[in-house]
Amino acid sequence: MGKSIKPTRDFWFPHIINKRKKIVFVHVQNHISAMGVETMMKNKYPGYKSKLVSNKEFKNLGGIL
């Protein structure tokens, strides 16, 4: 898969990037946080799609929380 990336100042959520499929798997804690993901995606990862994932799915993808 991709590399698990910890939150940074310009992208606040733990995420995993799949460069081959151009998907960013994003772990968010609540629905209010999820509302900001698309805006940050346009700035940080233009051309990529986002997929919000649960704790379990994020860990299954190799993510570290």
Beta carbons within 10 angstroms of residue 60's beta carbon: 11
User: What confidence score (pLDDT) does residue 15 get?
Assistant: 92
State the Cα–Cα distance between residues 7 and 4, nearest whole angstrom: 10
Mind listing the pLDDT tens digit for each residue in 14-52? 999 999 999 999 999 888 888 889 989 999 999 999 999
> Whole-prediction pTM value?
0.85
